[in-house]
Amino acid sequence: MNWLIRDYREGDLAPVVHLIDTTAELGQESVFSLAECIGALTGRQPAVVAVHQGAPIGAALATVAGERAWVMRIAISSGWRGRGLASALLVELERRLLAARIGRISYVLPEEELLGEGLLNAGYTRQPAVAYFEKSEHLHGSAATLLDDLGGRYLAGDLWGRVAGMEKEKDLIERRVVLPLAQPERAARHGVRPPRAIALFGPPGTGKTTFARGIASRLGWPFVELLPSRLADEGNLSAALRSAFARIAELERVLVFIDEVEEIAPVRREPAQPGGMHGVTNELLKLIPGFREGDERLLVCATNSVRSLDPAFLRPGRFDYLIPIGTPDEAARTAIWQRYAAGRPDVDLPVLVAASELFTPADIEHAARIAAQAAFERDLGVSGQAPEGDTAPGASTEDYLAAIAQCRPTVTAEMIEQFGADITAHARF
């Protein structure tokens, strides 16, 4: 990715108008006139601009009417077509519209063109009128207020596709969890019951939260995270859990995520200790069966220590699958490093993969951030090193290796050994 997508600014008017005007003949037409597009831009309607080396190379703009937004134009400079920029612009524009509580996003094409296929892939549905595409988003009215009260929200629609590496885990979750929930009628024909609750376990930083968010994004369901620490702040944790699940039950569809679930469902000791978590675990055990009665609900719990969870909490009937999420293998680390080093084709990926053997996705992200910062400071001449001249922008192999050397892996060899034992003792998929 060699561009930056940001909000439209007043100073972008002239170059964006020029871009819209000059790309109309390249198949990037619109039912909205140039004058209407200018009016939307000057009227501060939602718009995003892609820039490369400070110059606009693409733009996407919309106009909002009530709870519906009309995508007026996606314009891309001819030299940048076919590189995924249209999808990137549309995703960023949708994020602004979702934040503004827009319920439906529509796009009208004057005739069939390649963009129509892209809209279908982005979740839009063609309606029987010219080439009219529509996408439904969000909850409305009391349901939207309830989601806000729970701290929930709809996530960007591309999160699942952006999960880099970890293909084995991703494929397993896609087949066992996502597809039965996305196609329940087809699953029912084969006697498959879609899961209602799953637990993800593994060392810290391996991407359990990322997978939970990706599932919600893939299904198009609202994402509600229940934080044990925040629930505890309400005074009575059992009552707070009961209240939260009662409000969640009013939502038609939802993915509920509880991270570090061992904080509220630890192994119960007998006899129960005063002020202990015995009653909280009991309360959660009683709430899960009621939650499972909804057809479009999924509870995802994550833990770094599955062995510390109460056995009754994890049994079949409460949790359909217990899925291990480990550190990325060689192929997965290659895919993750490729994502960060894509701007430098000369980066030696095998060397980085070998040097980051125990790194989690979060560790790799941190190392990539350190390397990118080093390259940025060198380019500005504030690092004490001379700028690299005409070499490609971005971090080099040496920058990445230096960053890896600075990082301390989150996962130790002992953790890996314990994780292997936990897979044997607890995994169920």
For 361-372, write each residue's pLDDT tens digit.
Answer: 999 999 999 999
Q: What is the pLDDT of residue 113?
A: 55
> Is residue 142 pLDDT above 70, yes or no?
no
User: What's the mean pLDDT when you consider all of the chain?
Assistant: 85
Mean pLDDT over residues 262-276, rounded?
A: 68
Distance between alpha carbon 125 and the CA centroid of its chain, in Å? 22
**Is the bond leading into 271 cis (omega within 30 degrees of zero)?**
yes
**Taking a C-beta distance cutoff of 8 angstroms, is the pair 114, 27 a contact?**
yes
Cα 212 to Cα 159: distance, rounded to the nearest angstrom: 10
Using left for φ > 0, alpha for ψ between -120 and 50, and beta otherwise, residue 420 falls in: alpha
Q: Exposure string (b/e) for 218-235, b if CB count within 10 Å is 16 or more?
A: bbebbbbbbebeebeeee
27 — pLDDT class (breaks 50, 70, 90): low
* Candidate from 22-36, 255-269, 332-346 with smallest mean pLDDT: 22-36
Sorted by where each starts, the structural domains of the chain and their CATH numbers stand as 4-137 (3.40.630.30), 144-327 (3.40.50.300), 330-410 (1.10.8.60)
Q: What is the CA radius of gyration of the chain?
A: 24
For residue 131, pLDDT beyond 60: no
Q: Check pLDDT > 70 for residue 390.
A: no
The predicted structure's pLDDT at residue 111: 53
Of 197-201, 280-284, 401-405, the least confident: 280-284
Global pTM reads 0.72
What is the per-residue pLDDT for 80?
87
What's the pLDDT tens digit per position in 46-79?
999 999 888 899 999 999 988 888 888 889 998 8
Over residues 218-232, the pLDDT tens digits come to 998 999 999 887 877
Reported as a pLDDT band with limits 50, 70 and 90, residue 154 is: confident
Classified as helix, coil or strand, 285 is helix
Summarize the confidence of residues 202-214 as an average pLDDT. Answer: 93
Query: With 70 as the cut, is the pLDDT of residue 152 above it?
Result: yes
In terms of pLDDT, which residue wins out, 37 or 164? 37
